[in-house]
A and B are shown apart, each in its own frame.
Chain A
Amino acid sequence: MAKRKGHRGGKGKGAKKKNSCGVKTPAHYLKTKFETKVLHMDQIHENFKPENVAALVADPSLDDNLPGAGQNYCLHCDRHMINREALTSHLKSKKHKQQVKKLKDAPFTQKEAEAAAGLGTYVRPKDLDKVPEFESVRGADKRIPVEQAME
């Protein structure tokens, strides 16, 4: 919160700013680190359904606003990679493997929260035995190779 200019001693050379003005605390970075991932876990589980897989991974449309034109998308991490090599190296990374492990948990729903509150019997949903992988259905990178474009 900026101090009012009367308290600052004016707007010009007399103005004094608080030492920490303009400095982002670690808390801010932590907050944005977790919140930049747009999709929640249950949304990612939704994306595992065949119709969404087709639209995102198997046959994605070229979208120049996305990195790699949306052709190299990791479904588990909700990340677009710039090319196929970047994607293959991402799939081996620790972060990706941790995310896959997290996705084993069954998605939490409002119904489950209500059952936990006492609205009926609570049955713990079964965790997934195996998180599905989509490399077998992934479509080829549709972008025209640079050599061809130069012709």
Chain B
Amino acid sequence: MRVEKCYFCSAPVYPGHGTVFVRNDSKQFRFCTAKCNKMFKKKKNPRKIKWTKAYRKAHGKELTCDASLEFEKRRNEPVKYDRKLMQDTVKAVKKISAIRQKREAHHILSRLAVSKEVQKRADLWEVDTNLKIVQAPAVQDERLKAVVKQKLNEFKEKKKLDQQQKRIKVGRGKVEIQQSEDELSEDEQMVTASEEMVVN
């Protein structure tokens, strides 16, 4: 009695569920549902079908390389029943799966955290430009506006730094790119100068 993995989507296939297709070359293909079976017959590549585990791992959506993943393995050698071993295994399984779930969750949250920064910047810009729609300029809090502007500038500076870092990485040893970097910085100076003029 074993819980298999579906060939197509990597879902668990419990006893009494799914189908097995045995091909002429004696290879077995287990499917959790008819959905996966039909995809297989249509010769779809699981790595390209968005909802399969293979896609998620291949595209870095989920944790792929971790020590906590090395514990679960297909072990083909049966072990003589030992009560103590069984108890210890069950304890270990619970602990390891708890750790693994935490790590997987962390991986996903850190992946999604990037969008939070983008959203934050967008929200700050929204407040900065469109506050006058909601509040009359006379009523607006100057300190709040200053804080919003300062935070926006922080984002801008950070982006500039990141871009410079990228250019340095690409342009090591190439003189042309360094020259263009100077030109761009001149443009940026012009932009910031014009901004200052507008503000004044």
Q: Which residues of chain B are within 8 angstroms of A120 by Cβ–Cβ distance?
A: 69-70, 72-73
> Whose C-beta in chain A lies nearest to the C-beta of B10?
A117
Known contacts A34-B43, A110-B29, A116-B57; is A121 also within 8 Å of B65 by CB? yes
Indicate whether B53 reaches chain A with its CB closer than 8 angstroms.
yes
What total of chain B residues lie within 8 Å of the partner, measured CB to CB?
A: 33
Interface size class of chain A, counting residues whose CB lies under 8 Å from the partner chain: 20 to 34
Q: Which residues of B contact A118 (CB under 8 A)?
A: 69, 72, 100
B69 touches A114 (CB 8 A): no
Q: Is A88 an interface residue (CB 8 A)?
A: no
- In the complex with contacts A113-B5, A114-B74, A116-B10, A122-B29 CB distance below 8 A: no
Contacts A108-B54, A110-B7 given; indicate if A119 touches B72 (C-beta within 8 A).
yes
Instruction: Give the contacts of A28-75 with B (CB-CB under 8 A).
Output: 34-35, 37, 40-41, 43, 46
Instruction: For residue B53, give the distance in angstroms from its CB to the closest CB of chain A.
Output: 4
In the complex, the answer to whether A105 meets B69 with C-beta atoms within 8 Å is no
- Which of B28, B54, B70 has its CB near the most chain A CB atoms (within 10 A)? B54
Q: How far is it, in angstroms, between the C-alpha of A108 and the C-alpha of B49 when the chains are bound?
A: 13
CB distance from B58 to the nearest CB of A (A): 5
Docked Cα-Cα span, A37 to B5, in Å, equals: 26
Point out the residue from B7, B45, B70 that lies within 8 Å of A113, measured CB to CB.
B7
CA distance A3 to B8 in the complex (A): 38
Q: Is A112 an interface residue, CB under 8 A from the partner?
A: yes
**B192 CB to nearest chain A CB (Å):** 44
> Which residues of A are found within 8 Å of B65, using beta-carbon distances?
121-122
Q: A116-B10, A117-B5 given as contacts; is B42 within 8 A of A34 (CB)?
A: yes
Smallest CB separation, B196 vs chain A (Å): 50
B64–A122 touching, CB < 8 Å: yes
> 0/1 per residue, B121-140, Cβ < 8 Å to A?
00000000000000000000
For the complex, give the distance between the alpha carbons of A34 and B74 in Å: 33
Residues of B within 8 A of A (CB): 5-8, 10-12, 23, 25, 28-30, 41-43, 45-47, 52-54, 56-58, 64-66, 69-70, 72-74, 100
Of the A-B pairs whose beta carbons lie under 8 Å apart in the complex, a sample of 24, sorted by A's number, is A35-B41, A37-B43, A40-B43, A108-B46, A108-B47, A108-B54, A110-B7, A112-B54, A113-B8, A113-B46, A113-B54, A116-B53, A116-B56, A117-B10, A118-B72, A119-B73, A120-B70, A120-B72, A121-B65, A121-B66, A122-B58, A122-B65, A124-B47, A124-B58
